[in-house]
Homo-oligomer: A and B are copies of this chain.
Amino acid sequence: MEAKESLLRSWLSRFEGELEAGMAFWLKNSHDKEFGGFYNCLTRDGKVYDDTKYGWLQCRQVWMYCKLYRETAQYQSEEVRSAAIAGGEFVLKHIYRPSNHRCYFQVTREGLPIYMQRKPFTEVFFILAMTELCRVTRETRYQEVADKVLAKFRYWAREDDSELGRLHLAGEPKCNGLGVPMMFLCVLQEICLDDKKQLEKHRDDFQWCVQQILPHVKKDKKAVLENVSVEGNMLPGSKGRLMNPGHAIEAGWFLLRYASLVNDDRLKDIAISDFILLPFEVAWDSDKHGGGLLYFLDVEGFPQTALEASMKLWWPHCEAIIGLLMAYDEQKEDSILQNFKKVFDYSLKHFGDPEYGEWFGYLNRDGSPLDDNPFKGGPYKSCFHTLRCFHMAVQIIRKILNSE
């Protein structure tokens, strides 16, 4: 018991250190003081190697800064607050497109639009950013624009997504992908937090999300499938057999957090056993390959064509850290803590960078860096998964220590 407490305290202190080093990296290197917003493409030691600004990442960094501002004493500073506002204003002006409530995926340093995706995920991160910015500033205009985009996102998710511009051709099977309902669930949680009235107001959407997410579990295949038919059945071919363990685990902790808020014990059990523990166990690579979470699986063992399938990426490890800690906090099973220790040790050893702070993102299957010249920030890696993980890990471990 004491050994466990001392382990928890040592992990706590490591996460506090990683949070401090990671946040120092972004505060120092990513602020564009001339045009607002954040530099996203940063070398290992923080130099800008490309000044393109990515919509997902601009929004996520605003959200992350606001969260840390509101929830930690350390980052409740004018520096963090004003950087969040400057980022939010850039996003509002240059990422958001008021005419159709869509958001650009990529803009120039100055904010001129380069590219719009046909997926609605920049919009998700925009809602998160504006919602948090309203809490930090108490300016309701941020919430008002978030509400407009949320209404659109809800329509695309639940009614009709043809406005997004992707043709649905006759041979494409109608598909329930995990991404949309899990991100919708995340957005709803961030809007409501633990406000019972808000939870009640969005109850129907919450239930829709849960109903869309649960059929992805296929216990007989030991799988959480990324894509199922609208009836919840397995789709043919590689698309139907695809499992994205990091996505499954992330969906798992979204579900667990929601189940805790609404006191749904059955949903808690499903979230932990099927979405967190099952994917962790099937995706943890063998000792022969040095462990770590595989990025994709074909649940029937057929060849995979995605280049990253057998790589080790930072973000599924971040999600596993959060998911396993939440699951342990709920169930207090030692076996969960043993899995947590595996992913903690692996991540700090392979992704961590004591010299410059913030984690590396992309490793070969054997845990070596994918490239001689690894970057810290790129088109999909920014001030988000790592810091969210460190911050939440600190919060959860403190809660566990206080309750013991």
Contact = CB atoms under 8 A, between A and B. Distances in A.
Interface of A: 41, 43-44, 49-52, 104, 106-108, 110-116, 167, 169-172, 236-239, 301-305, 307-311, 362, 364-365, 370-375, 378-379
Given A307-B362, A310-B372, 8 more contacts: A49-B303, A50-B239, A108-B171, A112-B169, A112-B170, A302-B373, A304-B371, A305-B379
Given A167-B116, A364-B364, A378 B311 contact: no
Contact of A52 (B237, B308, B309, B372): B237
Identical chains in the assembly:
2
A238 B41 contact: yes
B373 A114 contact: no
Contacts of A41: 238, 303, 305
B371 A116 contact: no
A246 to B, nearest CB: 15
A172 to B, nearest CB: 5
Contacts of A236: 51
A238 B49 CA distance: 7
Contacts of A108: 171
Contact of A113 (B43, B110, B170): B170
B373 A304 contact: yes
B114 A171 contact: yes
A244 to B, nearest CB: 15
A30 to B, nearest CB: 15
A301 B47 CA distance: 13
A71 B353 CA distance: 57
B304 A169 contact: no
Given A50-B238, A172-B115, A303 B167 contact: no
Contact of A43 (B50, B52, B302): B302
B172 A114 contact: yes
Grouping DSSP codes into helix (H, G, I), strand (E, B) and loop, the A interface class, with mixed when no group exceeds half, is: loop
Contacts of A106: 171
5 contacts: A302-B373, A303-B378, A304-B371, A364-B364, A364-B365
Contact of A373 (B43, B167, B303): B303
Given A41-B238, A303-B43, A371 B310 contact: yes
A322 to B, nearest CB: 25
Contacts of A374: 303
Contacts of A238: 41, 49-50, 52
Nearest to A112: B171
A112 B171 CA distance: 4
A154 B44 CA distance: 44
Contacts of A169: 104, 112-116
A310 B372 CA distance: 9
A65 to B, nearest CB: 23
Contacts of A305: 41, 375, 378-379
A115 B168 CA distance: 8
B171 A107 contact: yes
Nearest to A376: B303
A305 B237 CA distance: 29
Nearest to A311: B307
Contacts of A373: 301-304
Contacts of A311: 307
Contacts of A239: 50
Given A305-B379, A371-B304, A50 B114 contact: no
Given A43-B303, A115-B169, A364-B364, A371 B237 contact: no
Contacts of A172: 113-115
Q: Which 8 A-B pairs have the closest CB atoms?
A: A112-B171, A303-B375, A108-B171, A305-B378, A113-B169, A49-B302, A50-B237, A50-B238
